[in-house]
Amino acid sequence: MAKTYRVTFEPEGRSVFALEGTTVIEAAGRAEIILNLPCGGKGTCGKCRVEVPVGSPPHSEKELEHLNEDEVRRNVHLACQTHIHADMTINIPSETRFFEQKILVEGAGREVALEPGVKKVFVKVKEPCLEDQTADVDRVLESVKDMASDARVDLDTIRTVPDRLREGKFKITVVLNGNELLSIEGGDTTEHTYGVAFDIGTTTIVGMLLDLRSGKLVATASRTNPQVVYGDDVISRISYAMENKNGLAELQERVVAAINEIIAEICRQAGVNRRHVYEVFAVGNTTMHHLLLGVHPKNIAQAPYVAAVRKSIETRAADLGIHINEYGRFHAMPNIAGFVGGDTVGVILAAGMMHSDDLKLAIDIGTNGELAMGTKDRMICCSTAAGPAFEGARIKFGMRAADGAIEKVVIRDDVEVNVIGRARARGLCGTALIDAVAELLRVGVIDSTGKILAPEEANGDVPDAVRKRIVPGDMGYDFVLVPGSDTPSGQPVLLIQKDVREVQLAKGAIFAGIQILKHELGVKDEDITEVLLAGAFGNFIRRSMAKRIGLLPDIPTDRIKFIGNAAGAGSRMALVAKGCRREAERISAETEYIELGGRPDFQNEFMMAMMYPERLNHE
Amino acid sequence: MAKTYRVTFEPEGRSVFALEGTTVIEAAGRAEIILNLPCGGKGTCGKCRVEVPVGSPPHSEKELEHLNEDEVRRNVHLACQTHIHADMTINIPSETRFFEQKILVEGAGREVALEPGVKKVFVKVKEPCLEDQTADVDRVLESVKDMASDARVDLDTIRTVPDRLREGKFKITVVLNGNELLSIEGGDTTEHTYGVAFDIGTTTIVGMLLDLRSGKLVATASRTNPQVVYGDDVISRISYAMENKNGLAELQERVVAAINEIIAEICRQAGVNRRHVYEVFAVGNTTMHHLLLGVHPKNIAQAPYVAAVRKSIETRAADLGIHINEYGRFHAMPNIAGFVGGDTVGVILAAGMMHSDDLKLAIDIGTNGELAMGTKDRMICCSTAAGPAFEGARIKFGMRAADGAIEKVVIRDDVEVNVIGRARARGLCGTALIDAVAELLRVGVIDSTGKILAPEEANGDVPDAVRKRIVPGDMGYDFVLVPGSDTPSGQPVLLIQKDVREVQLAKGAIFAGIQILKHELGVKDEDITEVLLAGAFGNFIRRSMAKRIGLLPDIPTDRIKFIGNAAGAGSRMALVAKGCRREAERISAETEYIELGGRPDFQNEFMMAMMYPERLNHE
């Protein structure tokens, strides 16, 4: 059984478990930290420098070509050339990060200019006298007219201007939001200008505090979306909102409470006063978007699945009950359709797909699988009801990727499993589910129709130890992954026949969706230059296993890339770069949504995609 | 004693009392109805047609030149050629009105295009289907994209769109406010689109309901400003707001309550549902403006007299507690300075002064006297602390123009007075105050220093009956206007020496202000082509009397014009014509404010202006 190590990434302080031999890049990806790799991880550019204060391995020759003596002494490594072989602490500087790199430096592909919505400027306002009785608000506007000509000012702000101007002795910081004067603050507060980017997932909410002056990430925190008590998928949330008088308000209060907790936590971590947070940018699927905004999502749940609103929304954060600066703004990423939301817009934005001549396919697998495919000339997308199988739901021993979850399954002479937290196995998470099916397909315990064969039917090459694990079940046969003797409960951890069917349905839906997108664009597998795996689950998949079960197209594995929490990255980009907000609006407006339920060819593709592939061209 | 008749104007149903021989134009002016007079009232253009169903006099020859037989039969008259000789009812059609004329028809001088902020459009929205899952809000915006491209939509409105769209079976009325979608309403409600223009005076609040589709006045109502319980001038209101913890909030609540009462009343009068009122436009002096908006006016009350805000303000009416359509908007006319507010902007706007090559002087006399002078090339203004003398305050027997008030004084062999409401005299209103001082100056009872002479000092030509009315008082001599035998109280109505001094101070301040404006522009009296008298009091002044006491410059009387409640007319114009809002913003920004307190020459002019003129060139 391969060893697992704990890898902690700084400054986030985020830990993940990684198998021996995993590269630092991949481990960082699992911690949702995306590195900038100009050379594609070949070790030739020397850009992916990280510091390893704890558990630093010896330097390889390739690394020594790029590092000076001081760097070697400080345990600086190249992330692409460094493998996990012990518990490690790895400090990833901002210049090595994908996101900050794109913001601050001209990248190879595209440049994103740092341009937050909210800017602060310290000004000395001319004091009034009998010869100059200019009104207070007009006087302040005059002082910033080069930055904002004839700016709008809300009445709430106007009411505060006379006193704040005099309290600050006419030396004030003006807070501008584009061509709007948000507020004035006494003295010079320009150093304190923050924003929070949120990824509002159906299951998990992540908040990231950014310094709007530099675009840098300062702190992050996450919470389980407290709406999960009303059901773990979007349909059950919508049902709750429809069936209960105050359902919508309750759901909104829950998510806003979590948002406020996260803001409080990241501000505490970073020593930032919440009053100095001026903008919140949020991405989420269309249902999460509507629920957070208090917009009823009921029409999403029934044909023709219409969202209330697609275009981007800006409102006062305080109007939603979000506690930042009292004049602070809330932005929601625009949606595409009822089942393809701002999170997918964030993925397309972060991956720069709308700037690429190369055909790319982005896959964000969660409860639903959202797919986007295209180039800068045409982008199409769809949503597949993948079901929550990969998140552990409807799987007999399914569980989330927590301590006690099998996360990897390998079959050699017998079954080898890797369990998170070095604990005894309690169940299996999504990656192990894929591994188990893939390995059993490979050795011949499962046939291409998805049937777990009887011990006597299985391929003659199946090792005896493996064959013995096939046991009778409710629906044909089940497979023992871990015997009861090795589990805390004393019960074996099984992969049952029904689990294999769930995987078939889920992967079939996603694969069929990919087929429809290919048909629509008139392209073949070989035309796809990159398959981008986004989202928490996508970043844990073992690519060859996913291909083995027919979840991903049969293309060379090195074209399949992990892009981390790309939706969250899109949220951060839009928070600090107004150019990205405009691009997001364009993505939202121009990406064509393909309704699979409206296509006669989808059912056919789905039936075919449910079969497991006989063999692969690109193992 | 000249006879007084009641004249009722329709469709307002507003009555005024007018002396025998008054023209219909002048009587209408007193009722704050301004007529359009292309030929200047010479009877040559025949445009000022009115109907006189009650009290119609015989037609003059000049009238018969312009009227056909049918019109003569219907008692149509020309307002400029018709004099009051009986109780009359006069119906003034909209085409004869100054305001509507300017809005609807190309006038001689300038054209104002009807262009309200809020427009409604009835659309049939395409219903969604599986092939077209466009979000509801985007679907609605698509249907009005020719009128408002990529319109903004508030979150509150977004929340209502899905249900209203379906309740209306996708046939809806879209309410647009410029490039903002305010709301949608089921079915076709385009016929019901109203706005209310307010003139928020320190003493009186007037509300006018207008049909935004035609620009026509539908109903009007007024209330005493309930803030008067906190003092009758702006300084006492500001003091109350400063000295009481919730003072500002109390003052705001009072004025908002009156506004809501007026809206309810005019809607009831016109049979209009309050939900079909979408815009409120208000003018007022800077203090009234700030108090209504909940902006503290404290800095206006102390040097250097700075307002909190000058520029125009738009906000949700509901945010101010004003009860119209829940998405309706409130607009405040921009100000010029702490003591020259949106009411003066309204006067300059209504009088078209910013479009004129001719030098004009507008005078709005109330508690303060606001003066504006200039041409389209340069406009300047000032505020004079005229004091409330002309409103009856600080005058021994001063009272408002109500029943029992002397409103006219003429001296021939003896004193003749005219009393409002055919009642016995209880006191005297502003016009009678001016008359009394002017007539006593003329006959030689008051000398040019403002002293009431002793009976033996008075001019030898003074009739005995008049001389006998001079009686000893606290400060020298007083003058008996009405003996105790003719009053309900049995006490005589007197003009006392101190009253004459109050008039001197008030008229001196205004006249000195005019002198400063003339100096500033480098012009003389003869350069002034028109003196425009605005406001409730201005429209009751007898021009020759005002010149006699030195309140107005000594220019030919026919150049002195009454323009009614021009501030209110400006509010109506801005309500229905966005071009006028832009012009108002320009007036506000470009009109130069002259602070009289900051000018060394003002005290000198004021001292000189306190003297009464020895004689006039243009009687």
- Residue B14's CATH number: 3.10.20.30
Nearest CA in chain B to A128: B304
Range of weakest confidence among A436-440, B81-85, B213-217, B258-262: B213-217
At residue A40, the pLDDT reads 64
Does residue B107 sit at the A interface (CB-CB below 8 Å)? Answer: no
Per-residue pLDDT reduced to its tens digit, B439-494? 999 999 999 999 999 999 998 889 999 999 999 999 999 999 999 999 999 999 99
Number of domains present in the structure of chain B: 4
Per-residue pLDDT reduced to its tens digit, B339-381? 999 999 999 998 899 989 999 999 988 777 899 999 999 999 9
Q: Per mean pLDDT, which of A547-556, B155-164, B453-462 is the most reliable?
A: B155-164
Integer angstrom CA distances of residue B112 from A139, A503, B162, B357: 31, 71, 38, 18
Answer with the residue of higher pLDDT: B12 or B306: B306
Amino acid at A286: T
Strand ranges (DSSP E) for A201-301?
204-211, 216-224, 277-284
Answer with the residue of higher pLDDT: B386 or A247: A247
Q: What is the C-alpha separation between A9 and A93, in angstroms, rounded? A: 10
Whether B392 is in a domain gets the answer no
Tell me which residues of chain B, numbers 333 to 392, contact chain A at a CB-CB cutoff of 8 Å: 335, 337-338
Handedness of CA A65, A68, A69, A75 (dihedral sign): negative
Per-residue pLDDT reduced to its tens digit, A229-242? 998 789 999 999 99
Per-residue pLDDT reduced to its tens digit, A555-571? 999 899 888 788 988 99
A305 CB neighbours in chain B (<8 A) are 130, 133
Q: Is the pLDDT of residue B276 over 50?
A: yes
Does residue A155 sit at the B interface (CB-CB below 8 Å)? Answer: yes
Contact B337 A135 (CB under 8 A): yes
Whether B232 is in a domain gets the answer yes
In 3-state terms, chain B is what percent helix, strand and coil (to 5)?
A: 35, 25, 40
- The whole-number average pLDDT for the span A311-330 is 97
At residue B387, the pLDDT reads 65
Of B186, B213, B237, the position where a domain reaches its end is B186
Q: Say if residue A302 is in the same domain as residue A251.
A: yes
Contact B311 A137 (CB under 8 A): yes
Q: Is the pLDDT of residue B304 over 50?
A: yes
Q: Which residue, among B285, B210, B173, B290, has the nearest Cα to B242 in the 3D structure?
A: B290
pTM score of the predicted model: 0.81
Q: Say if residue A268 is in the same domain as residue A228.
A: yes
Does residue A421 sit at the B interface (CB-CB below 8 Å)? Answer: no
Contact A135 B305 (CB under 8 A): no
Answer with the residue of higher pLDDT: B32 or A540: A540
Tell me which residues of chain A, numbers 563 to 602, contact chain B at a CB-CB cutoff of 8 Å: 593, 595, 597-598
Whether A503 is in a domain gets the answer no
Contact A315 B133 (CB under 8 A): no
At residue A114, the pLDDT reads 86
Contact A294 B159 (CB under 8 A): yes
Q: Which residue, among B501, B526, B509, B518, has the nearest Cα to B609 in the 3D structure?
A: B509
Per-residue pLDDT reduced to its tens digit, B177-233? 989 999 999 999 999 999 999 999 998 899 999 999 988 889 999 888 999 899 878
Answer with the residue of higher pLDDT: B110 or B465: B465
- The whole-number average pLDDT for the span B319-331 is 98
Whether A367 is in a domain gets the answer yes
Q: What is the C-alpha separation between B379 and B361, in angstroms, rounded? A: 10
Whether B108 is in a domain gets the answer no
Q: What is the C-alpha separation between B228 and B233, in angstroms, rounded? A: 8
Contact A598 B308 (CB under 8 A): no
Q: Which of A130, A134, A303 comes nearest B597 by C-beta?
A: A130
Nearest CA in chain B to A159: B295
Q: Say if residue B199 is in the same domain as residue B299.
A: yes
Of A63, A96, A129, the position where a domain reaches its end is A96
Of B479, B495, B511, the position where a domain reaches its end is B495
Whether B472 is in a domain gets the answer yes
Q: Say if residue A448 is in the same domain as residue A587.
A: no
Reported as a pLDDT band with limits 50, 70 and 90, residue B500 is very high
Contact A306 B338 (CB under 8 A): no
The distance of A215 to chain B (nearest Cα, Å) reads: 28
Non-local (6+) Cβ contacts of B243 within 8 A are none
Whether A502 is in a domain gets the answer no
At residue A419, φ and ψ (nearest 5 deg) are -115, 135
Residues paired with A282 in a beta bridge? A198, A332
Q: Say if residue B131 is in the same domain as residue B250.
A: no
Per-residue pLDDT reduced to its tens digit, B124-155? 999 999 989 999 999 999 999 888 888 999 99
Reported as a pLDDT band with limits 50, 70 and 90, residue A399 is confident
Contact B137 A310 (CB under 8 A): yes
Contact A310 B138 (CB under 8 A): yes
Give the residue numbers spanning the domain of A137: 118-186
Does residue B157 sit at the A interface (CB-CB below 8 Å)? Answer: no
Non-local (6+) Cβ contacts of A607 within 8 A are none
Does residue A178 sit at the B interface (CB-CB below 8 Å)? Answer: no
Q: Say if residue A409 is in the same domain as residue A449.
A: yes
| CATH number of the domain to which B148 belongs | 3.10.20.880
Q: Say if residue A198 is in the same domain as residue A328.
A: yes
Q: Which residue, among A291, A271, A270, A269, has the nearest Cα to A282 in the 3D structure?
A: A291
Q: Say if residue A203 is in the same domain as residue A322.
A: yes
Per-residue pLDDT reduced to its tens digit, A93-141? 877 876 543 333 222 234 577 889 999 999 999 999 998 999 999 999 9
| CATH number of the domain to which B255 belongs | 3.30.420.480
> What is the pLDDT of chain B when averaged over all its residues?
90
Q: Say if residue B402 is in the same domain as residue B445.
A: yes
B595 CB neighbours in chain A (<8 A) are 130-131, 133
B310 CB neighbours in chain A (<8 A) are 134-135, 137-138
- Which structure tokens are listed for A264? 């409080």
From edge to edge, which strands make up the β-sheet containing A216-224? Answer: A216-224, A204-211, A194-200, A277-284, A329-332, A313-316
Handedness of CA A123, A129, A132, A137 (dihedral sign): positive
* Angle, alpha carbons A539-A543-A544 (nearest 5°): 160
- The whole-number average pLDDT for the span A155-165 is 97
At residue B149, the pLDDT reads 80
A293 CB neighbours in chain B (<8 A) are 155, 158-159
Contact B135 A308 (CB under 8 A): yes
Q: Say if residue B127 is in the same domain as residue B212.
A: no
Contact A135 B298 (CB under 8 A): no
The distance of B500 to chain A (nearest Cα, Å) reads: 32
Contact B136 A307 (CB under 8 A): yes
Q: Say if residue B134 is in the same domain as residue B201.
A: no
At residue A215, the pLDDT reads 87
Q: Which of A294, A304, A310 comes nearest B129 by C-beta?
A: A304
At residue A326, the pLDDT reads 97
Inter-chain Cβ pairs, chain A and chain B, closer than 8 A: 143
Per-residue pLDDT reduced to its tens digit, A496-541? 999 999 999 999 999 999 999 999 999 999 999 999 998 767 777 8
Q: Which residue, among A449, A389, A451, A383, has the nearest Cα to A593 in the 3D structure?
A: A383
Q: Are B264 and B239 in contact (CB under 8 A)?
A: no
- The whole-number average pLDDT for the span A464-491 is 95
Contact B138 A311 (CB under 8 A): yes
> What is the pLDDT of chain A when averaged over all its residues?
90
Whether B76 is in a domain gets the answer yes
- Which structure tokens are listed for A273? 């006063």
At residue B619, the pLDDT reads 65
Q: Say if residue A288 is in the same domain as residue A310.
A: yes
